[in-house]
A = this chain, B = another copy of it.
Amino acid sequence: MHDRAVTRRQFLNDPDDFVHEALEGLVLAHPGLELHTDPTYVLRADRGAPKVALVSGGGSGHEPLHSGFVGPGMLDAAVPGAVFASPTAFQVTVATKAADFGHGVLQIVKNYTGDVLNFQIAGEISAEEGTRVQRVLVDDDLATDTGREGGPGRRGTGATVVVEKVCGAAAEAGAPLEELAVLGRDTVSRSRSMAVALSGAAQPGSAVPSFELPDDEVELGVGIHGERGATRAPFGTAGDLMRQLVDPLVADLQLRRGDGVLVLVNGMGATHPLELSVCFREVHRALGELGVEVARSLVGTYLTSLDMAGVSLTFTRLDDELLRLWDAPVRTPALVW
């Protein structure tokens, strides 16, 4: 198998300019966004009414996350790093200050060492400069759950979209900073994710995927930066593969008959809408057999790992408040209702 190189090519100019040029294209297509450089961050062009500001960010290559979620009802600013690399503390500090209306800033941070460190430093500097900052750490990836063994803990993945949406709605409704932080952490605690990949992702300008798989295996519990999965499993039908994501999520969240969940079936880059629809059907069916209600769903490409052919599944156990916040209007490049 491994001598069968897969040729990957991308639409780009110089790989070193890839992220910056893409950000330029994004704001050209979306006048509601404003690109700042030196350092780089994306800000809502129409700032809207004063409220607690939401700032997120992380490595690039996961688009539409995070820049595609800047807008009314979601983020005020997104801070993109290089591909799969954290933004700097300086970037985050400047973006935090720019986003602040004087009501404080909620940072939404995926649990990766670099992101955590740089957002933390930025939070401390911002606090010294007079901006109140609270941080929600998103750590929903069940594949990296090490229990009480310590270590970096679960990675942050699909639940980030949910946290950004519900906290964004609550911020628009005037919730204060501390309340948003509690809401965000509660949403994380109600959320778990798990992913499966049929192929690795290739870095821009490179033809070499992060891992190669035999035809009869899949990478189960794969990460969004080309991290290898927790295990390899046999390739199978969409039903088989989704079952291997559904079962551990249901067990960990202790979902029971009558519970209602938000289901996010997310394409990781090169997964076709037809495939995502089939996967959602399988997840819906599996939950139905358990008596768990799919109260809301989101099926599409929201958090990618470059051109990975994969699917991540996120469940969030809903209550009435989360349902209401999820349903509230949102107007961003990648999420509108």
Contact = CB atoms under 8 A, between A and B. Distances in A.
A272 interface: yes
A64 B273 contact: yes
Contacts of A60: 274
Interface stretch (A20-28, A108-116, A143-151, A167-175): A20-28
A7 interface: yes
Given A270-B270, A272-B306, A284 B11 contact: no
A61 B275 CA distance: 10
Interface string A260-297: 00000100011111111111111010000000001001
A277 B272 CA distance: 19
Which among A60, A63, A238, A304 has the highest number of chain B CB atoms within 10 Å? Answer: A238
Q: How large is the interface on A (under 10, 10 to 19, 20 to 34, 35 or more residues)?
A: 35 or more
Number of chain copies forming the complex: 2
A241 B269 CA distance: 22
A336 interface: yes
A10 interface: yes
B63 A18 contact: no
B301 A215 contact: no
A254 interface: no
Given A25-B276, A28-B280, A270-B307, 11 more contacts: A11-B241, A13-B238, A13-B239, A21-B277, A21-B281, A25-B278, A25-B281, A28-B281, A29-B298, A60-B274, A63-B274
Interface of A: 4-7, 9-14, 18-19, 21-26, 28-29, 60-61, 63-64, 68, 198-199, 204, 207, 215, 235, 237-239, 241, 265, 269-282, 284, 294, 297-299, 301, 304, 306-307, 309, 311, 336-337
